[in-house]
Every structure is written in structure tokens, then in C-alpha cells.
Structure 1
Amino acid sequence: MIKYQKILELHDEGISLRGIAASTGNSRQKVTEVIRLAEKKGLVCPLDEEMTDKWIEEFLFPEKTLEGSGRHPLNFDYIHEELAKPNVTLSLLHYEYEAECRANNRIPYSYRSFLRHYSRYADKYKATLRIRRKPGEIMEVDWAGSTAFVIDRDSGEKVKAYVFVATLPCSQISYAEVTLSMNLSSWIQAHNRAYQYFGGSTQIVVPDNLKTSVTKHTSRELVLNPTYREMADHYSTVVMPARVRSPKDKASVEGSVNAISTWIIAALRNTQCFSIDELNEEVWKKLKEFNERPFTRKKGCRLSAFEEEEKFALSPLPSKPYKMSEWKKAIVRPDYHISVDSMFYSVPYEYINREVDVKLLDDMVEVYFNHMRVASHKRLYGKYGQLSTSRDHMPDNHKLFLDQTPEAAFEWAKSIGESTLNVVQYILDTSQNEKQALQSIFSLKKSERSYTKYEIERACKMVISMTKRPTVKSIQTILKSNKKNDAEQELKRKSESTKNNFGFTRGAGYYGGTDR
């Protein structure tokens, strides 16, 4: 057998490859291969007593222990790396391995032996066993059953604090924090900080069936809390709640809850904190110790397993953490406004009497109908009863009324003609107040629905020629009179035109003999 132990010890002492080869009787190529594999797998001197030549050979060349059976050797490093990829399973890898064996006329291992040998390899040399969980696939979350406490500075009373726990099952790394409530806001903010702690998001989140995450969960229907669903969309993850009364669906976080209850909550039982921030600082110190505690049956710890085996598989985080929002329902009032926290926000008037979904952010209010956003406003604070109204949401007649200003009146009159402008100027100059004048002008503007600009300008010119005190009423009377006269003249013209259009009609002159 190759003297692996001596090769590594001589290399550690600084002996050259030529000297090591001469001392051990091995080729320089073999010595180089052993040293390179040992450095790659982290095997360095001093060596433990149990690290015999046989142990080192199994560690550096695990496939050699399988060659004596006459079967095609297994590349365990390749298998372990491939299992980290999405949708790759041991069944698929065994199928590919069998195909390779048939191509090379070698005998393959059965699926059961294939599985057994990989399990032994991963248990002994790797931080994670990817048969059970893929890296970066799942984050399990829950509230711990045990609670912590903070002390009220004024009364000295102990205030209960609740412990949020998030675990990545593949590496078993955990995150924990305490909050003063288990409401939706605390639940969402805890998720934000958990993602920041891990440095990425997973493909799936597995919560319990809490009201803060699940509205309804039956064998036929799953309805998530809208805010929680929106948070999942923000982090490009999918929420798959555990089945009702099925703790095994999130066994990792259940185990982590028990461990954290011991190593964090119980460990802080004699620590007095006077604020939630102060308590969280202590919790995070204990959490660091918990994640760095060595495994009992293999090398490494939760943190090293995460960094080596799982961190690379997490999805990158968005540029900004999810911003908390609240959803409510509202009925659009007849004045095309909705009431939210005693403030009023407009929506398009077509949705009057319809039920809409309202998304409340710190600075924005968004209104949705059938999952389509129909309005958005800056959120109002302060005195109750404030209105936020968009002109685009108004019916046309309301827009006309809103636009009644002296400037708008002059602009409209200029578009009609000089006589109309003179009438508008006179009304604004002679009315007792501006509001009364604008109401009169608004009545005149509504004439555009029935008359052309030419007809309005002509009526104003006629009124000005007849009186120095034109009124809207007199203009409307002339408009009607002109319309009637124009209609009569048009009818008379058509009658005469019809009478003269027939060339074969013989008049009285013909019969009197004068036209012959």
C-alpha cells in the first residue's frame, strides 16, 4: 500500500517531491496526485491517530474500495455536485450511470447499492446529505412554543416576547429573532430579516397554517393571506404550507425550535433586557454560537455546512426588501370615492357600487378590481375626512364644472370668437361675484353640446349689436331663434330645389301658347 501518511508528513516538513518519491518509493506523479487531492479535500497535518494509510486512501480515493467487486466505479464527487442542481435525483443519476456502464461493457451497481454507497460517502465526507433535501430549495418557518421576555423599565413587569425561527433543512442553519407580537407585520418583517441573514431566498417557504400566512387550507383549496402571497412574489418564492396537523411536513424547523428553545431561550433565562432590540442582540449572539457548534458525528458545523454546501444555491435577493402592505375591501360610493381609515380616495366613476381591493402602503394607496389596478393615490394622514381626487376619475360633466376658472373661461371664449370673448369679459366684469359669473359662463359653454362654434359666435355678435348689456339668457334665446329660422330656410330651399329639378314639367306659359 502507498504510504499516504508519510507522504503528507514529509510534504508538511517542506521536503521536495523528488525527495518524497525517493523516501517512499513512489513515483513523483503519484506523490503529486496524493498531495493535490489532500489539499483539495482539506486533509492537512498534523494527522490524527485514526488517519491511517487505509483511512487516508478511502478518504482520497473512495472509488478504489469498490473496484474489487468488478463493477464500474462511482464518482461520488460528481454525484454530490449534480444532486445540488434543480430537479436532479439519484434515480436520474443511476440511470445515466447504468447507460455509461452498458456503453463501456461494465457491470453497474444496483440502485439500492448505488444509494447505499453514496449515503456512506456523504455521511462521512460531506456536510450535507442531498438525498433528503436539495440546497437552497426550502426554508421552514414557525413561531417557537417557548417565549422570552423583556422587563418594563417603569413597572418592572415581565413582557412576553415571541421567538420566530427559520431553518434551511439541507444545512440545518437557523435564524431566530424575538418580537413583541405575532401579528402580520411582525411575521413579514421577520421573514425579511431571515432572508437578509441567509443572503438569499429559497425556492419554497413552508409555514404552519397560521392566520398570518394562510386564510384557508383544505384538501381542495388553499387561500394565502394576500400580504404573505405578495411577499413571496417579491422574493420569487412559492408558499407551500404544511398540512393541517402534520408537523412532519416541517420536521427541520420543529427540531430547530426545540434546539433553539434550549440553546437560546433557556440560555438567556437569567439575562435581563429592557427593550426588544437589546434582547435581540443577546439572541443573535447565542444564535451565532448555535450555528457554529460542531456536529457530533461529522466534521464542520451548521454555518460551515451552509457556506460550503447551500449558500451557492440560494436565489439572489431583490435590490430592496419587501415593503409591508395591508389589504382591505371597500365599496365605491356614489361620489366615486372609497373610504379608507376615514380618508377618501377617488376611483374611476365606472366602478360606482362595486367592491374593490385596497392595498395600503406607508406612502401609497392602490385600488384593484379583479386583480387589476384601477387607481393609486398618495396616502393621506392627519385630519379625518381629507379627499384625494383625480380629474381622470370624474364623469365629463364633473370635469367641466371643475374646470370653471376665469382663465379657463377666457381660453374657451378665444376658441369661439371675438364676440364671445367680449361677452365673457362683460359677464366677469359686471357680476356681483366671480362664482356667479362662472356659473353663467358654464351655462353658455354647455351650449356647445347643441350648437356649433359658428352659431354661438353669431348669436353673441347679434346680442352685442342689439344691447350693451348682453346676458346668457338672451344669447340662448337667439340661438334657438336662429336655429328655427335656419331650419325653415333650409326647408324652403329644398322645396324650391325639388320644384325646379324636373325638366319635363310644362308651365302655364306653354299652355297659353307663349312658350311655343
Structure 2
Amino acid sequence: MAGRRSPVTDIREILRRLHLGEPDRRIARDLGISRNTVAHYRVWAARHGVLDGGALPDVATLAELLAPAPSERPAHEQSLVEPLRERVLALHERGVEGQAIWQLLVEEHGFTGSYSSVKRFLRRLAPSRSRATLRLEVGPGEEAQVDFGYAGQFLDPEHGRVRRAWVFVMTLSCSRHQYAELVFEQTIETWVRLHRAAFEYFGGVPRRVVLDNLRAAIVHAALYDPEVQRSYRECAEHYGFLIAPCRPRTPEHKGKVEQGGVHYVKRNALAGRAFRDVHDGNRHLLRWCLEVAGRRTHGTTKQIPLAVFDEIERAALRPLPVSPWELAEWKQAKLHSDCHIVFDGAYYSAPHRLLGERLWVRAAGSKIELFHEYALVATHRRGRPGQRRTLVAHLPPEKVHFLLQTPAWCRARAAEIGPACALFIDALLGDRPLDRLRSAQGVLRFVDRYGAERVDAACARAHAVGEYRYHTIKAILVHALDRQPLPGLTPVASNAAVSPPRHARPWTTFFPDPESEDRRSLAWT
């Protein structure tokens, strides 16, 4: 736009182009302004009937329409942010903070104002755009609110290094009595352990636990019916409380924790203090919850949390169960073709009819349970890595016989096949029969395909070269090497003078010389 025009003139040019039906993108490009600015005045014009089809108002009339209300700032004092009001409002309502809004305005619209101008605009905006909220007071024992908040760096004595730590806070909504603990992880294991610790600290369980959509406790941040991880759901069932996630992006729904819990703990209990390690910090938090936070006059209720807890809320909590919650770990695992799933390096069998299915594994203490959908299909004792836990009933009938082929059975079967096979199987099993049992079984199964005579010959050949492996026998049989003479036994003409091969052992190493045997027997007669 050539020349320098007043704001009203600029706005009238925008309105004129809108009146002609030009798209926002073209108007913004031609006038060198933001599309959001064009969109803002399109909405304004529609609200004031400027685009209803009649003639555009003149500059004076337009100035009157654009004049600020008495409560608004004069036109010459309008904020530099004003032309981008709608964009700022959209970002502000999404929870974007001022610094990020200013950065986005600079990047998207070439905004030349300072960060302070954005802050001032947001301060003026806050009273008029704030949403009305309703403070809901709940009865004793009805509700607790929980959250994590970053707490800083603490020494982890178990690992001998400084780590990032978070503070867990559970606040009873009626009395405002609270429990706080420092942790290094936000895993589901830590999450349910902290619930147990808080319930034992209070001496009872609230009827409902309100939480933000924390990744450790919630699988998907759904609005009304979130899919809660199985471990947390089992914990809730064990203690008898309901899980009540906040609606996504609405932390004000659990303000007792957000403002009076995590923030209060960080500002009051932890700020400006140095601790030897995380255990020292947790000892301090326990004393602080009982002696400081519990005995203060609460700013909202004007009552002392610990006194209210002792008077009305302690007795209203549900009693703790007889046995404490034992964490169960849930994972999914595929049932492989050998009728076993793998969990923590150990192997557990499941019914062969479920081959290829994904099963749920529930591990609690020394017990492993396998579920198909919601049905329990197998129970095992927990095994060490590499160990197999197999129930014969889980295997197909044709595999049961194979399972019963023990090392002793393999040796007996090899002796039936032939002496060379017996030597080979005995050497193969050696001092590790269980580790090599499958290889031995595989060698013996070659009889079904190649016959006992060929397998025995293959074992003799492998024994001759000192190779005691399943793959050696397989290679000999596949390439028919068992039908060739053993090394050092190449047939020659009977009258030929043959010198022994340079690197071969004499054939008498493998078979006794009949003539030598005869001479030896004559020598003793």
C-alpha cells in the first residue's frame, strides 16, 4: 500500500476488498498484513452489517463504528498486539504462555512489539476472557487428588549420582490433609506404590481419586471412559476406590493439588533447602506434612487441615484391606510355534490352540498367569532367565512324545541304530545333556528320512573328523558323504604300491587289521 494512511483508511481498504469478494489470502498479500487481521475485520464487518450488500460507510462513519468503548483504550494507545487479537486469543485459550505467544507472533506475522507488550495485552485480557469456575466442596472421605511435580536434583544413594526427582502429592479434598514423597520415576510401578504409601499414611482409602492424565497411570487420555492400565485398575479394585481422570487440558479441575499441593510443597517445603539425598528430603517432607502443612490455617477453608482430618475425615475413609496391594506387572507376549511365550527371558507354555495369538502375561511375585482376552489359560511358577516352564497338556499330541525323549532315551535309541551313532550321541550330549538334547533328538529323527544305516555311517564319518554337531550330520546326509569312503580309506588296486597320504591317519586307526589280529593270536599259541 503506497503512502502512509490512517488506521481507519487502512481498515476501510480491507473492508472494500472484502466487499468486492476478494479472498483473505489475496487481501493479506496485497496489503502486507496478516490473514488473521483480515479474518478479524471480516467478522467485525459481518457483525456490524457492513458487508450486507449496500455501500461501504464513509471514513467518518467508519471511524465512529471503530471508536473504542469508554472502557477501552483510546485509539492512539491501542496495543501493537491488537491487530492480532484473534490469534492471541486462540493461543491463550489453548493454554499457551505469554513467552511462547510472543515468539509465535514474531515467527508467523513479523511482530515488532516487545514481549512486555504481549504481557500487558494478556493482563488486560485476563479479566474479560476468564472462564467462570464453580468451587465444589466434597464430603469427608469422598475424594483425594493426586499429581506429580518436578522437584529438582537430588542425590540417589542407590546409584551414587544426582538425578532429576519429582514430588508426588495426594491431598484429601475435604480436610486438605496431604501426603508428599520424592521419587525418581513416573512409572506405573512407582505410581501404585505411592498410592499404597499414601493410603497407609492416612489410615484409609477415599472413595474417588482424581488425577491428571499422567502417562504412567492412563493409557489414553480419553474424556469420559479412559482405558486405564491393568495394573492401576487392579490396584483400584483392591483398595476399593474409583479412578476419576480430569478432562484433558483442564488441570483446574483438580486445583486442590495443582495450587495447594504440588505448588505449595515446592514453594514452601523444598524451596531454598539443601538435602543430603532423596531420603533426607523425604524425611523432611513427612515432618513438614504433619507439623507445618497440617497445622496451618488453610487459605481457602480457614481451618486447620489436620484438625479437620482428625475430627471428621479419618473416620469417613474406607478401611484398608487386610493384605496390602502386591504390584502385578502386565505385558503382552505372542505364543510361538513351540507353544511357549517369552517373559523376562524365561519360557512359559500355553495351550497349542492359541498359537500365534497375543496373550496377556500377569506377573505377581513368584506366580505367572497367562490370559487370552479375559480368560485365564495357564498358571506357572516364575522361572529364571533361560528356564522353561512346560505343561504337557499344552502341547499337541504329536509333540508330547518328542518332549519325553530324555537323554537316556536318546542314548538307548542311538545304540539301536548302530555303534557309530551310539558313540556320536554320547559325545554330543557330553556333560551338558539338557542343553544339547534338542540336537541329539534332531540327529535321531534323520532315521525317519534317511534310514538307520545311512545315519550310522554319517555318525562314523563325523566321529572320524571329531565333529559332534547336528549340522555336521545334516550336511553329510544332504550331500551323501556317508556313501563315500572315510578319510584315509580310498580304495586302490591290490598290487599297487601306495605310500600313505601325507596328512591322513592310517585306516587301522578306525578299523583293526585282520592280519595283525591273526599274527597276534598266533604269537600267543
So what's the TM-score if we normalise by structure 2? 0.49
So what's the TM-score if we normalise by structure 1? 0.50
